[in-house]
């Protein structure tokens, strides 16, 4: 089949240009909307699959007579797998491969979710550990692949809102898991929880594969006349290659670096500003993982809450995190746009947001231990976690400031470091509570988290940077 290009005239060229611009704009907007929806759903599914164990481990522990040490081992094993694939996931995703990496990750973690009841029933604690490690390995590629795709698809002036939206959807996933898991486990048994959540993930993979084929690899990415200027038929591979050459990154920092190349990875990982970001992120995730993993158990242990009540009591912190995170993203984009992305304003905004996200929650965790009322404790915890959502426009987006062209890789390393608190802190808390008892164990566990918040923020305040690292 031949492609015929008609002789041009100024009038025809103008009409064709306007028509093509209109079609391309509509196509781009549709593509962006679909991308946003599918990414949001993937994050919701990811956090729902990892969070449901916080509820189901209670009836599982009752059925198989597990101790707090056993539960801590099972909860912490997820992070061992999660630790293994962060960097690899980011490295594979940088460029145009993020969609395929994400598809493989969602399929794998949904599969491990589905088989969790079987492995626990047959192998008990070793089976639970194996399933959680596998789940963690599969989910480990999720966030790095998403952040790699954001770099090339989202304009920098909208990046705060998009990152905040992605982070907020993680809280929505946790809320769904807590809301659904408790009543399902009480009425239909804990095994059904894993079957339901794993099945939802499998269903998501199908439209996502259609999306990445149609939008990332199909001819419709550009009008046909743009790709066929030489009047010769082209294979799909040639079309994709030419299209890749014509594409312009949404982020202007990437365009600036096209000639110079990215910052060498070794130099990037030795930069003091990057190390300060890693330290702050590590400290921030210590408190987050501890609360996410142990909050239902803490409420049951401290106040004797019923299993049916744990779901809705535990959801309020995550719900408010989502709301505050979205508001913070919108505010950050508005402030940066108003001040033309001024470096001084960016520094002030990021530092204030992160300070509120870590210092105040650090104090509130200590205050919560002094409160003897269930609902007051939930209220304090909700406030602490809601404020912590501001980290999505603080240290949580700092890697886009420092090295946007390697956002996937850098986030993979950062999130690997952020997994260590889950791998170490979650089982450590279980050991402390089991060894010292609830009366002393929980205060020590929360005090450690509070100390992490304060020290981590102090390091980033003094050594953090918000300017792109030069090649």
Q: At what angle do helices 10-64 and 190-211 cross, to 10 degrees?
A: 160
Question: Per-residue confidence of the chain (471 residues) as pLDDT tens digits?
Answer: 443 333 444 444 444 445 455 545 565 677 778 888 999 999 999 989 988 898 899 899 999 999 888 988 898 899 889 889 988 888 888 766 788 999 999 999 999 999 999 999 999 999 999 999 999 999 999 988 998 888 777 777 778 888 888 888 887 887 888 788 888 998 999 999 999 999 999 999 999 999 888 776 653 444 333 333 333 443 444 444 444 444 444 555 554 444 456 788 888 999 999 999 999 999 999 988 888 778 888 888 888 877 667 667 777 887 888 889 889 999 998 998 888 888 899 999 999 999 999 999 999 999 988 888 888 988 998 999 899 999 999 999 999 889 888 888 898 899 889 888 888 888 898 889 988 988 899 999 999 999 999 999 999 999 999 998 886
Token reading at 289: 């993982």
- 7-26 in b/e form (b: 16+ CB < 10 A) is eeeeeeeeeeeeeeeeeeee
Q: Which residues contact 242 (CB under 8 A, 6 or more apart)?
A: 227, 234
DSSP 156: G
Q: Read out DSSP for 385-408?
A: HHHHGGGGGTGGGHHHHH-GGGHH
Percentage helix, strand, coil for the chain under 3-state DSSP, each rounded to 5: 85, 0, 15
- Measured between its terminal Cα atoms, the distance across the chain in Å is 47
For 132, the 3-state DSSP assignment is helix
């Amino acid at each position: 089949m031949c492609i015929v290009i008609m002789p041009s005239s100024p009038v025809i060229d103008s009409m064709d240009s306007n028509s093509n611009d209109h079609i391309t704009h509509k196509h781009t907007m549709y593509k962006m909307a679909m991308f946003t929806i599918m990414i949001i759903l993937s994050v919701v599914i990811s956090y729902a699959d990892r969070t449901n164990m916080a509820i189901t481990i209670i009836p599982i522990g009752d059925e198989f007579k597990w101790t707090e040490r056993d539960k801590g081992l099972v909860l912490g094993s997820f992070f061992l797998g999660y630790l293994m694939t962060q960097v690899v996931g980011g490295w594979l995703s940088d460029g145009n491969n993020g969609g395929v990496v994400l598809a493989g990750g969602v399929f794998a973690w949904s599969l491990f979710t589905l088989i969790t009841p079987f492995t626990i029933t047959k192998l008990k604690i070793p089976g639970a550990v194996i399933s959680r490690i596998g789940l963690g390995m599969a989910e480990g590629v999720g966030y790095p692949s998403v952040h790699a795709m954001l770099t090339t698809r989202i304009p920098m002036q909208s990046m705060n809102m998009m990152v905040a939206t992605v982070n907020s959807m993680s809280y929505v996933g946790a809320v769904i898991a807590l809301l659904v898991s408790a009543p399902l486990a009480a009425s239909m048994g804990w095994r059904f929880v894993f079957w339901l959540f794993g099945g939802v993930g499998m269903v998501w993979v199908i439209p996502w594969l259609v999306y990445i084929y149609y939008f990332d690899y199909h001819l419709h990415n550009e009008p046909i006349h743009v790709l066929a200027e030489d009047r010769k038929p082209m294979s799909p591979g040639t079309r994709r290659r030419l299209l890749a050459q014509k594409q312009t990154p949404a982020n202007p920092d990437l365009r600036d670096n096209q000639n110079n190349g990215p910052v060498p990875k070794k130099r990037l990982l030795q930069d003091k500003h990057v190390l300060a970001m890693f330290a702050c992120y590590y400290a921030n995730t210590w408190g987050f993982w501890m609360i996410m993993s142990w909050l239902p158990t803490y409420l049951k242990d401290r106040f004797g809450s019923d299993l049916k009540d744990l779901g809705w009591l535990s959801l309020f912190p995550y719900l408010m995190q989502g709301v505050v995170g979205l508001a913070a993203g919108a505010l950050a984009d508005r402030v940066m746009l108003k001040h033309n992305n001024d470096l001084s304003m960016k520094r002030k905004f990021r530092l204030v947001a992160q300070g509120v996200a870590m210092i105040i929650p650090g104090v509130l965790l200590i205050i919560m231990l002094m409160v003897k009322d269930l609902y007051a404790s939930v209220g304090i915890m909700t406030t602490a976690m809601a404020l912590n959502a501001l980290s999505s426009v603080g240290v949580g987006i700092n890697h886009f400031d420092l090295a946007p062209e390697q956002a996937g890789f850098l986030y993979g390393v950062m999130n690997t470091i952020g997994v260590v608190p889950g791998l170490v802190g979650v089982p450590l808390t279980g050991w402390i509570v089991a060894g010292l008892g609830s009366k002393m164990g929980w205060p020590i566990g929360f005090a450690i988290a509070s100390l992490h918040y304060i020290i981590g923020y102090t390091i980033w305040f003094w050594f953090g940077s918000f300017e792109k690292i030069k090649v």
